[in-house]
């Protein structure tokens, strides 16, 4: 039987969890403040900015944090240049993403995002992420739990304080609110950099080719996941007619409420992933089956609650938090909720596959899911279905591959252990 986490490990997990909660609250407060101080059409433009920065931030930069943490974990500090190496790599990512973002300054691009200032804010957020995420990876890998949590919590607090300050000062521009993302991200790392002990910054550099290979695989999977999850908002702004110009903002508002269980799961996943991984490594297949069954069953139950709850209360909660102009139609609410519910189940299966070492399965499943979702966005005529169906289709495709892969891997492991 795997040993339970030590008291110190549980405390560190609790600290990170609390920081993650504050970060999530900050994001929700920012979205709500923007919705209360802009028109529904301006909010749709902000929704595009927000979805793009989240997709790129969690799809490109967060995998760099993960790979950096893995690379330095358990290694003593040296006089090496790991910080310079990963910051340089993040800088290269920023050059690429910034060049792509500049395409939004073309006439067609501005028709999509709305204001040139939002493009500048988008690029600024990428530059801030290029600093924050590598440093978070170094802190995490060096077991600087308090400092790591401090970065996350500070960013969340700034996402609350800065937009409220803008409102009090009379600023209601979507560009000003968008710049909060970059400013909060970069200011959040300042306390960590001001510490006297900077040994967490000096690790030996990684092998460039191996690091790029590992990080690249993570990026493909993470970007596919984020692209699917944010596809509704991004597509709504692209395909909606003039009469549906507020659809992107309505989708974001609905999605923000429906995906609260996704955020909660990401905070609480530590409760089952270490045990699943330990059971797999120890050959306790009964424990693996039990843990996965419970996790997937709970995900299905939560998904049912999400759809039912959003169907009954989603429009009322959206109107209360974001305003009546951003309330999506009931069919739209149910479609968005169904997509999120299926995504939750697929996400649990995906993390289960990672815990059993099936990294290639995870990468392939989400990449194929994103590819399969693309034709849906191109071929369906109904606007509402066109923007909500890709997440549903993508989640189903990913889930089918993940469950099939997990079952095959479980059977193969059972045969191996019986030999």
- Written as one string, the DSSP assignment of 276-332 is HHHHHHHT-HHHHHHHHHHHHHHHHHHHHHHHHHIIIIIHHHHHHHH-GGGPPPHHH
Provide the pLDDT for residue 3.
46
Per the CB < 8 A criterion, the answer to whether 371 and 290 are in contact is: no
pLDDT, one tens digit per residue, over 100-121 is 999 999 999 998 999 999 999 9
Q: In the predicted model, is pLDDT for residue 2 greater than 70?
A: no
Predicted confidence band of residue 307 (pLDDT cuts 50, 70, 90): very high
User: Quick one: average pLDDT of 113-131?
Assistant: 95
Residue 329 backbone zone (phi > 0: left; psi -120 to 50: alpha; other: beta):
beta
pTM of the model: 0.89
Provide the pLDDT for residue 208.
80
Q: Helices 330-355 and 285-309 meet at what angle, rounded to 10?
A: 170
Six-digit token string for 31: 């979205």
Domain boundaries, the chain: 1-229, 243-419
Provide the pLDDT for residue 419.
66
Nearest to 299 by CA among 219, 402, 223: 402
């Amino acid at each position: 039987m795997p040993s339970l986490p030590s008291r110190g490990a549980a405390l560190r997990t609790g600290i990170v969890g609390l920081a993650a909660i504050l970060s999530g609250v900050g994001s929700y407060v920012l979205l709500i403040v923007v919705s209360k101080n802009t028109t529904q059409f301006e909010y749709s433009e902000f929704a595009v900015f927000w979805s793009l920065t989240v997709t790129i931030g969690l799809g490109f930069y967060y995998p760099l944090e993960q790979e950096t943490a893995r690379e330095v974990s358990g290694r003593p500090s040296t006089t090496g240049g790991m910080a310079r190496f990963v910051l340089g790599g993040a800088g290269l990512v920023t050059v690429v993403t910034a060049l792509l973002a500049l395409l939004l300054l073309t006439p067609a691009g501005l028709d999509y995002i709305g204001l040139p200032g939002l493009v500048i804010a988008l690029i600024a957020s990428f530059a801030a992420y290029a600093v924050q995420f590598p440093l978070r990876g170094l802190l995490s890998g060096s077991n600087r739990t308090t400092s790591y949590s401090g970065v996350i919590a500070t960013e969340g607090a700034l996402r609350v304080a800065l937009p409220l300050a803008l409102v009090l000062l009379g600023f209601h521009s979507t560009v000003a609110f968008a710049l909060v993302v970059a400013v909060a991200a970069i200011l959040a790392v300042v306390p960590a950099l001001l510490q006297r002990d900077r040994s967490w910054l000096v690790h030996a550099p990684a092998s460039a080719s191996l690091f790029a290979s590992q990080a690249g695989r993570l990026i493909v999977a993470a970007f596919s996941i984020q692209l699917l999850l944010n596809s509704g908002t991004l597509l709504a702004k692209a395909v909606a007619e003039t009469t549906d110009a507020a659809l992107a903002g309505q989708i974001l508002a609905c999605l923000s409420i429906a995906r609260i269980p996704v955020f909660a799961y990401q905070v609480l996943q530590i409760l089952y992933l270490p045990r699943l991984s330990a059971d797999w490594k120890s050959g306790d297949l009964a424990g693996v089956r039990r843990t996965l069954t419970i996790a997937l069953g709970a995900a299905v139950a939560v998904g049912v609650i999400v759809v039912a709850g959003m169907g009954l209360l989603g429009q009322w909660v959206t109107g209360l938090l974001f305003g009546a102009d951003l309330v999506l139609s009931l069919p739209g609410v149910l479609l968005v909720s169904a997509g999120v519910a299926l995504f939750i189940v697929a996400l649990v299966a995906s993390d289960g596959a990672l815990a059993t070492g099936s990294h290639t399965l995870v990468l392939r499943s989400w990449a194929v899911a994103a590819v399969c979702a693309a034709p849906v966005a191109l071929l369906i005529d109904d606007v509402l279905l066109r923007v909500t169906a890709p997440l549903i289709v993508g989640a189903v495709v990913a889930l089918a591959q993940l469950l099939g892969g997990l079952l095959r891997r479980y059977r193969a492991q059972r045969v191996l252990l019986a030999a």
